[in-house]
Amino acid sequence: MQRKPLFRPILLALILCGLAPGARAAGEGVDLMQRSWPENGPLGTFDRAAVQRGFQVYKEVCHTCHSLNYLAFRNLAALGFSDQELQAIAAGYKVPALDDEGQPIEREAKPFDHMPAPYANPAQARAANGGGLPPDLSLIVKAREDGLDYVYSLLHGFGDPPAGHQVPEGLHYNRYFPGGNIAMPQPLTDGQVTYADGTNASLDQMAADVTQFLHFVAEPKLEERKLTGLKAGIFLVVFAGVMLAYKRKTWRDLH
């Protein structure tokens, strides 16, 4: 009685096919704009210059409405900012504190502080945005399917609605936003910021840069993770080889 040689591969293939599509819910239907991101891929790393530019876009544009609660200024050290630069960046913000008599005051932020939010609370944020709540962006790239392409596309997606599409008062048409009507006005237009490194600030450039920056904030350990994976992978392959050889040797006397 011979075992079917296909038995194993078929079983595995079936199980894996079952998992992959099953694990994700059906998407919204609009094809996102694609881009190849340097931090993707097994050994991808963040493009430091792009992420720094993205930080500038966030600071100057998005920060008017969106918080970034999980970002502490010290985290930016990973982008290559020196201690002095971090001090200076932090000092550009005020954070609440108490004075010696316990009175609430504001002090200059330090590198260990987190990025202060633009609004004191969600109600204030809604009131200032025609009822829409600008979400915290710390995890936005992970919190959407295909987050990188989605955020990048969303920033491109404003424009005139197709004929017959009604945009309610106070909302804006965006073809990548589910339903098409978003409470965010188009945040980026060509030349919106003046890049410190002289890069031409086209809409596409800024959208890509800020998306990479938001990815960095969502996954600060991405590079460490991939590098650790490489080391673990090399170790495991060697280990598996040794174990296979050892297994063969052990079993030989049975054959």
CA torsion 206-211-214-215 (nearest 10°) is -140
- Which residue among 88, 98, 123, 243 contacts another protein (CB under 8 A)? 243
In three-state secondary structure terms, 19 is: helix
**Residue 23 interacting partner from ligand HEC, another protein, none (CB closer than 5 to 8 Å by kind):** another protein
Residue 104, CA distances (Å) to 40, 101, 119, 142 in order: 45, 9, 17, 36
Q: Per CB under 8 A, which of residues 221..240 are in contact with another protein?
A: 221, 224-226, 228-230, 232-233, 236-237, 239-240
Residue 13, CA distances (Å) to 18, 23, 62, 150, 226 in order: 8, 15, 45, 30, 26
In three-state secondary structure terms, 179 is: coil
What number of CA atoms fall less than 13 Å from residue 90's CA on the CB side?
23
**Residue 226 interacting partner from another protein, ligand HEC, none (CB closer than 5 to 8 Å by kind):** another protein
Give yes or no for a contact between 38 and 107, defined as CB atoms under 8 angstroms apart.
no
- Contacts of 223-229 with CB under 8 Å at 24 or more apart are 223/39, 223/45, 223/46, 226/42, 226/43, 226/44, 226/45, 227/43, 229/42
- Which residue among 115, 154, 201, 218 contacts ligand HEC (CB under 6 A)? 154
Q: Per CB under 6 A, which of residues 166..195 are in contact with ligand HEC?
A: 182-185, 187-188
**Residue 210 interacting partner from another protein, ligand HEC, none (CB closer than 5 to 8 Å by kind):** ligand HEC
Q: Of 73 and 177, which CB lies nearer to ligand HEC in the complex structure? A: 177
Q: Is 33 annotated as a binding residue?
A: no
- Which residue among 15, 120, 163, 196 contacts another protein (CB under 8 A)? 15
Q: Per CB under 8 A, which of residues 188..217 are in contact with another protein?
A: none
135 lies in the binding site for ligand HEC (CB under 6 A): yes
11 lies in the binding site for another protein (CB under 8 A): yes
178 lies in the binding site for another protein (CB under 8 A): yes
Residues in touch with ligand HEC (CB under 6 A): 57, 61-62, 64-66, 129, 132-135, 140, 144, 151, 154-155, 182-185, 187-188, 210
Binding positions for heme c are: 62, 65-66, 184
